[in-house]
Structures are given as C-alpha cells and as structure tokens.
Structure 1
Amino acid sequence: MSAVLSPITFTEALKFWLRLGFISFGGPAGQIAIMHRELVEQKRWISERRFLHALNYCMLLPGPEAQQLATYIGWLMHRTWGGIVAGGLFVLPSLVILIGLSWVYVAFGSVTWVAGLFYGIKPAVAAIVLQAVWRIGSRTLKHPRKVPLLWAIAVASFVAIAVLEVPFPWVVAAAALTGVLGARFAPAQFAPGGNHGGAAKDWGPAVIDDHTPSPDHARFSRVRLLAIVLAGAVLWLLPMGALVAHGGWDGTLAQMGWFFSKAALLTFGGAYAVLPYVYQGAVEHQQWLTGAQMMDGLALGETTPGPLIMVVAFVGFVGGWTRQVLGPDALFLGAALAATVVTWFTFLPSFLFILAGGPLVEATHGKLGFTAPLTAITAAVVGVIATLALFFLVHVARDARPAGWPVDWVALGIAAAAAVALLRYKIGVIPVIAGCAVVGMVLRVSGWS
C-alpha cells in the first residue's frame, strides 16, 4: 500500500532552504548530492525522475546549476516566492560568511593556523567531489540497457575537457545532439526506467511524483512570461541606474555591475568555466585585485557553503576595499556594498531563467524527444564532474608539497581518508570537513607540513 504523504508547507520548506544554505559545501556536485539525499531519498518531496529532469534543464543554463535547481524545486512547490526564497537562501549565508572572511583576510592577513585550516579542507573538498561522481554516476549510468552509449558519453566528455580542453558549451551541445539522434535511432538507451527500476521503486512515493500533474502556476502563460521579463528588466535597470548616478558609468561599482552581468551569461559548466574570464577582467584589465588574491579567494569559495561562483563576492569585496568606493572612512561598508552588488548582478539572471523557463520544462517531463537530450547531458556531466575531481586532486598534490617531494603525500592521505569516510562509512559532509580542517591545522602548527 502506498504511503499518503502530506503536502509540503511553506514553513517546512523555508526551514529546509535556510539549513541548506549553511550546509551546501562541496561545490555544485556536492550540493546536488545533498539535495538529492534530503529531498529525494529522505523527505520524499520530489521523485528522482522529476529531480533529474529539473537538474538536466539547469545544466543547460548559464549560472550555478545547484542554486538554480533549488530555485526550480522551490518554485515548483510554492510558486514564485518559493523559488525566490529557495534560491536566495542558497546564496545569502555564503555572502554573509564571505564578507566576514574577506574582511579578516584584507584587515589581518594570513596566519599559520588559518593556512592549516585551508590545508586540511582542500583534500576534503576533493573527496566530496569524488563522492558526487560516484553518486550521480551510479544513478545515471547503472541501467544495463543504458550502459554502452551513456558510459561512452561520460568518458568522451571527460576526455574532451581534461585532455582536449574543449569548451564546456561544446560538450553540452554534442551530448544534446547525441540525445536527439539517440531518441530516434536508439530510444532504449535513453528511455526512463518506468516501472522496472524507476525511482519510485527505489525510494517510494513522493509528494511530487513521476505522474503528479504540474500545478497551475507551472503551466505556460504568455502573460506570466511577459511579467517576468519586465520584472527582470526593472530589477537590472534600477540598481544599475543608481550605481551610475553614484559614481558615473566608469565608476568602480557600475563597472562591477556591468562586468558581472556579462559574466553571469558565460557561466556554462559552473564556476571553473568562467573563472578565466573573471581573472582576465578583474585582475588583468580592471586590477580590482591581484592574481594571488584571486587564488586565495578561490580557496575561500571552495571552503564555504554556497555556489563556488560566490568567489565573485570576494572579488567584489577586495575591489571595493582597495578602490575605497565609499571613501577611506568607510572601507568595510564600501567593500560589503561592492560584494553585494557583484552578487546581485551575478545571480539575477539565474532566477529569471528558472521562473521564465520552468513551465516549458514541466510540460516536457516524460516526453522522450525532450528528455533524451537531457539524459545525454546528464551522462556528459558525470564526466565533467570527474574532471573537476581530477583538477582538485592535482592541486591538492602539488600546491603545498614540501621541498623535494614529487607530490604532497600527506594531503593526498587526508583526501583518501576523507573519501573512505564519505563513501565507505557514510559520514556526513560537515563532520568530514571539520575533521580534515583540524588535522590540517595541527599539521601546520606543529610544523609537519
């Protein structure tokens, strides 16, 4: 007998999204894994097939896919305000934490025990990404009928990015084209599991199940689409107009708003895909911060909750501090304002993409012609996340290795221990990060690394 699940109240959802904002470590892969575990496996608020359908759409968009996925699910459950709350709370805790850490960074500099914390946390983050590769790959590639083609797509995407350095948008386009052709010539490779191994059999019934009709607000409406587009234009133009009125078009704050508006439309494939563009513009062209400061900001972004692209808040804070955007007597306020401006213009398009495009996505779940390209993209993303794991492991092995060592065996040992804790013993993300941070601090303070 199927269990009768109670509707999700806005208060319940609000509590979850607030908690998620403080525990969403591990970059997009880790954040998606956390949402899957909580929403699909434990709370049963949404079925796995609906979850993956929404995720596939978010993978197509520029912007942070984990934050967009939270926005989508919040919107699906509780209309526009549900999406705004879910997406906003995914970002706000990270913004507040990064403003505080950025102030410590610029005001007091680095000390040994802080460097030790970072030394231990980086291997833990690498292990979290490895765990996400395993979790998402095992779900996407496990079906026997799907193994040949979807595995080939995953491996090809890994080689394309890690070896051939193909831009992520081309990888997505190739995977989508493969799905379009596959739906016509090899539909069994892309067909959903249905009653034979589908998500419902694995996890039980969900509030938003495979066959739950889309709510009224999730159905396409030209009037609603026009309202969203106009609201988005106003929400961009008013803040930009205020910044131009304050310091002129060439002022630091206006230039930050304009630059990160453009960057927001280039973030296909997550933060690492757009970091070279941000580095070129913020470091080399605008000189808001130095290259070394940019790398330190990336470390902070890796080790705080929220999307990794939140490193842009650090860029804004340091740029606002060095340029004294509110004068020398208000360094912190000016820097915090700059970080907030950068965050606003970076994330505004993400909300608009979900609120405007969500009804189209809801109208297509279960239709092979639409789902096959997205299934292929999911397989490609498995390979992409694997390249991210490799990127982390290479930097863990090289960045802080002792003189004369080919690699940093201590850091790799921490990463291996964290991976065993996550994969074998199912220890939570937060305890693993905290434990690795303490180990790294002790090693640095004692002089072992």
Structure 2
Amino acid sequence: MAVADPDPVPALNNVPSFAEAVRVWVRIAALSFGGPAGQIAVMHRILVAEKKWIGEERFLHALNFCMLLPGPEAQQLATYIGWLLHKTKGGLVAGTLFILPGLVAIMVLSWLYVLWGGTGPIAALFFGLKAAVLAIVFQSVFRIGGRALGNPARRATAAAAFLALFLFQTPFPIVVLGAGLVGYAASHRGRSAFVTSGHGEAGGSIVSDAQSALGVAIPAHAAPHRAWAIRIGAILLILWLTPLLLLFLLAPDSVFTHIAGFFSRMAVVTFGGAYAVLAYVAQAAVENYGWLRPGEMLDGLGLAETTPGPLIMVTQFVGFLGAYRDPGDLSPLLAATLGGLLTTWVTFTPCFLWIFLGAPYVERLRANRALAGAMAAITAAVVGVILNLACWFALHYLFGQSTQRSFGPIRFDLPVWSSIDPLALLLSIAALAAMFRFRAGLLPVLGACAAAGLILRHYFGS
C-alpha cells in the first residue's frame, strides 16, 4: 500500500539527491558503533560538519524532540532527518538502514552463540566482554549524571529512582511515569529545577541553518498535514499490531505471543535510552519469563556493543533465546530466528510511527515548558535506573551466588562474598581504569577485554 506524501516540497538547489542520501545513510549505518552517544556524534560529523545538509540548530532541535520519545533516539534521529530531506521515503530508508547492519550481525552472532557459545574459547571471549560491558554501563552513569544532575532536585530524583528499583522492585514504567509527572508538575508551577537547555551530545563544528542545504525555511512537507498523518499512522499501526493480534487470537499461550506482547509494551515506555530500559528488559526476561539467565543478558549486551546499530538491538538476542528454549512444534533454530525477527519488528515499527506523527508538531512541542521539565526529570531518573542496572550486572558477573533479604516491602539481593570470582574482579578493575583513568575508547576496551578473557581462562581455567 503506497503512502502519498503531503503537499510536495519545493525543490531546493542544494538538497542532495535521494540516491546520494542513501549512500550516506549506508555509511552512517556501517559506522554506528558506541551506543547512542557515538551514533549521534557520527551523524553530526557527517550530516552537519561534513555534508552540511542540516544546520546545528535544526540538528539539536530534532535531537531534543527524539529525546522526548520512547525508543532509541539515534535511530529516530536518523528517521527524522531522512524525512526532512526526502519526505516519507527518506525517513523509511534512513531509519531502516540504521537498523539493518545490527539486525544481521546480532542474528548471525546469536546462531553462533547457541551452537558454540558453551565451548571454551567462545565462553572465554564472553567472559572478557562482560567486564568491558560492566565498565561501559558505569561510565554511562557518570556521563549522563554529569549533565543531568545539576541541582539537588535532579539528584534527589535520581536517588529516588535507584531506591525504588533496588529496594522496592518498582516496575520500570512506574518509575519513568512518576519522574515525568514530578517534572511536569514542578515546571507547570514555574519551578526551574527541571528546566533543561537542550541536549549536549552533538558537539563538533558549528554549521548554521542558513549555511546548510536545507536552509532556514521549513520544507512544505514538514508542516502538519492531517490526511497524510491519518494514512501513514493507520498503515504503521496495522503493520505493528497485526502480528500481535493474530498471535493472541491463534496462539495465546505461545512464546511468540509473549514476546510480541512484552516488546510491544516496551516500545511505548523505553524513555531514557537503551541502558535505562535494559534493567526493565533484564528483570522481565530473566525473572518473569525465564527466557535467559543473568549472565546471558550480559553476553547479549556485549554482542550489541560490538556490532553497528542501536544498542537496543540486544532485545533481538533476548527474543532469539526465548524462542530457542520454547520452540513448540518448530525446530529450535527456526523458532529462535522467528522470535528474534518478531522482537525487532515490534520494537522498531513504533519508532517510525512516533516520528511521522510527531515531527510536524515538533516546534509546538519544544515550546512547552512543562513537557520539557518532564523530560528533564525523566533524564535525571534514568541515572538512577542505569546505576541499578550496573549493580545488577556487577552482582551476577562478579559473584557466583547471591541471597535475597527482605524487610517488609523492602527486598534486595546481597552477594555471597565467598563466591567472588577473582579473575572477573581483576578484569573489571582493569576495564574501569582503562575507561575512567586513561579514557580508552569503547571498541579498544571491548577488544582488549575479550583477548584478556581468552588468556586468563586459558591459564587459570574457569
């Protein structure tokens, strides 16, 4: 079914051809390592500083909007800019190409993982990767906290989010919703604690909108257009929800139904980026559904960190293992492949829906002080959420056993100190030192830790 664009945009002399844009989006997709911060930096360097297709102000304008949405902001930013340049087809191509390399890489690595992941060398590689992942998550806490916790109110919000998750096992969506309501109410009443001045990830050379190919004027297709919004919204909703509805009707107890339902719910609450939502995914996938073990969640994150594409592609690995272990009448590998693809479909299809429906109203949205306050409060809470994730990873990587303690509504896990793994502790300290003391890059740390895991396991055993 074809989707007609709204009124055609007048031709702009400097706007690249669609074919040229496709080549650039392929290049960006191939270089999109390093999580959201690295991916946004790559887009900024190529689209703003190098190609000058879009100006600094418009880039940050789009990025701030994407930060307000659930889902991976880097992929949504690519979709938004692709839409600005070449309307609906531009957004679809840019967003899809951003996903494809990670989809293929994670699928291939997932096959290798279930077939040979338990063998000595592969297991040793993952042992080393886990130390790097642990350091990366702790670095994310400090990086986001450095710009998000600038006053006592924001620090209190982060602390409250951490305690709600760590001590009271509060569901992630409630933590996000609560933080957003606090920030909205405070800003609506004129308080300045949660007023934010924008996003600080772009950096790099400044190219004004007037110097860019798009110029200062808003393209005609960027204006709100009700008929187009209804058409594109209906098509994307059908594409997203039809598999889900069919599974609920035909196989309500199937693992595929649970996968489609859970990750569809996740797609509407994933504020704060991949690291924030991983605590929610890990808790549900490990403790509620039993799709994978805690150590395997770390393995999946290691795979996602070492491949291009959105970090949230780790969810494909989760869906893959969930279906692999409960294949029904299918072969395990076929079920796993379908489970991984289904996970990616219901995770990313809504991202296009949010952009195409919301982007035309971005100016009005950004001018809303109360909404900006809600997002700032959510960003502060995300620091506490990621800290909880880091503690969860550390507990399951560094210690072989843990014990649960309860005091009324308070419930938390404590490590059994005698079960600590000295090699894991040594490698984690080295990874943390490399990232914090020597400011080593993500890929060198991942590579060094994987090699160290092989060496340590070879000489000292498991």
Normalized against structure 2, the TM-score is what? 0.73
Q: Deviations over 1:298-333 (max 9, x none)?
A: 5224432355554543454456556667866xx645
User: What is the SS of the residue equivalent to 1:270?
Assistant: helix
Whether 2:360 is the aligned partner of 1:359: answer: yes
**How many Å apart are 1:363 and its aligned residue?**
2.6
Map 1:115-194 to 2 at 5 A: 115-141=123-149, 146-193=150-197
Distance 2:286 2:184 in 1: 36
The equivalent position to 1:313 in structure 2, one of 316, 337, 362, is: 316
Pick the aligned partner of 1:418 from 420, 431, 438: 431
CA distance in 2, matches of 1:325, 1:165: 32
Give the equivalent residue in structure 1 for 2:410: none
Question: Which residue of 2 is the match for residue 217 of structure 1?
Answer: 221
> How far is 1:116 from its partner?
0.9
Partner of 1:446: 459
Quote the Cα distance in structure 1 between the aligned partners of 2:453 and 2:28.
26
User: Which residue is 1:3 aligned to?
Assistant: none
Structure 2 stretches lacking a partner, 5+ long = 1-13, 403-415
How far apart, CA to CA, are the structure 1 residues paired with 2:397 and 2:325?
30
Name the count of aligned residue pairs.
419
Contact 1:33 1:136 in 2 (8 A): no
Distance 2:426 2:25 in 1: 34
SS of 1:135's partner is helix
Match of 2:351 in 1: 350
Is contact 2:260-2:346 (8 Å) kept? Answer: yes
Between 1:258-267 and 1:130-139, the stretch displaced more is: 258-267
Q: Are 2:117 and 1:112 aligned?
A: no
* 384-393 vs 122-131, which moves further: 384-393
Offset, 1:434: 0.9
Q: How far apart are 1:445 and its partner, in Å?
A: 1.6
* Contact 1:124 1:436 (8 Å CA) reproduced: yes
In the alignment, does 2:91 pair up with 1:83?
yes
Are 2:65 and 1:54 equivalent residues in the alignment?
Answer: yes
CA drift at 1:40: 4.5
- In structure 2, how many angstroms separate the alpha carbons of the residues matched to 1:200 and 1:99? 30
Structure 1 unaligned residues grouped into runs of 5+: 1-5, 284-288
1:337 counterpart residue number: 338
2:3 aligned residue = none
- The equivalent of 1:427 in structure 2 is 440
Query: Residue in 1 aligned with 2:279?
Result: 272
Residue type matched to 1:37 in 2?
A: A
* CA-CA distance at 1:123 after TM superposition: 1.3
Q: Say if 1:295 and 1:404 are closer, same or farther in 2 by CA, change over 3 A.
A: closer
Cα separation, 1, equivalents of 2:246 and 2:444: 44
CA contact (8 A) 1:161 1:167 kept: yes
Q: 2:22, 2:94 within 8 Å by CA — same for their partners in 1? A: yes
CA contact (8 A) 1:397 1:407 kept: yes
The answer to whether the 8 A contact 1:264-1:346 is kept is yes
| Residue equivalent to 1:286 | none
Is the contact between residue 400 and residue 408 of structure 1 (CA under 8 Å) also seen in structure 2?
no
Q: 1:237 to 1:128 in 2, by over 3 A?
A: closer
Aligned-partner Cα distance in 2 for 1:412–1:221: 56
Distance 1:130 1:86, change over 3 A: farther
Other structure's SS at 1:303 match: helix
Asked whether 1:100 is paired with 2:103, we answer no
Give the conservation status (yes or no) of the 8 Å contact 2:237–2:353. Answer: no
CA RMSD in angstroms comes to 4.2
Relative to 1, partners in 2 of residues 1:213 and 1:409: Cα closer, same or farther, differing over 3 Å? farther
Structure (1 or 2) with the greater helix fraction: 1
Q: What per-residue deviation string (whole Å, max 9, x for no partner) do you get for residues 404-449 of structure 1?
A: 8553343233233323333444432112111110101111122255
1:57 Cα offset (Å): 0.9
Identity %: 37
Query: How far off its partner does 1:90 sit?
Result: 3.8
**In 1, Cα distance between the equivalents of 2:254 and 2:186?**
51
Aligned to 2:377: 376
**Cα pair distance change 1:93/1:149, threshold 3 Å:** same
Normalization by structure 1: what TM-score?
0.75
Shift in CA distance, 399/264, structure 1 to aligned 2, threshold 3 Å:
farther
Matched-pair contact (CA < 8 Å) for 1:120–1:436: yes
